[in-house]
Amino acid sequence: MGTIGGALCAADPRYDMLPLISGTGARLEVLAPSGVRTLAPEEFFVADGGTSLQPHEILAAIRFPAASVFTRVVFEKFRQRTFDAALASVLCAVRTDAGRLADIRIAVGAVHPVPVLASEVAAELNGSVAAEVDPAAAAARVAASVLGDDGGTPLVQYQRELVRALAGRALSAALSDGRS
Ligand SMILES: Cc1cc2nc3c(=O)[nH]c(=O)nc-3n(C[C@H](O)[C@H](O)[C@H](O)COP(=O)(O)OP(=O)(O)OC[C@H]3O[C@@H](n4cnc5c(N)ncnc54)[C@H](O)[C@@H]3O)c2cc1C
Residue 24: name the closest of 60, 72, 61 by CA: 72
Task: From the options 2.40.110.10, 3.30.465.10, 3.50.50.60, 3.30.70.20, give the CATH code of 4-63.
Answer: 3.30.465.10
Q: How far apart are CA 109 and CA 63, in angstroms?
A: 20
Q: Within 10 A of 132 (CB to CB), how many other CB atoms are there?
A: 12
What dotted CATH number matches 69-175?
3.30.390.50
Q: How does pLDDT run along the chain (180 residues), one tens digit per residue?
A: 899 999 999 999 999 999 999 999 999 999 999 999 999 999 999 999 999 999 999 999 999 999 889 999 999 999 999 999 999 999 999 999 999 999 999 999 999 999 999 999 999 999 999 999 999 999 999 999 999 998 999 999 999 999 999 999 999 999 986 443
Domain with CATH 3.30.390.50 in the chain: 69-175
Q: Within 10 A of 7 (CB to CB), how many other CB atoms are there?
A: 16
Centroid of ligand 1 to alpha carbon of 125 (angstroms): 34
Centroid of ligand 1 to alpha carbon of 128 (angstroms): 38
Domain with CATH 3.30.465.10 in the chain: 4-63
**Ligand 1 atom 31, closest CA:** 6
Residues in CB range of 122: below 8 A, 6 or more apart: 104, 105, 106
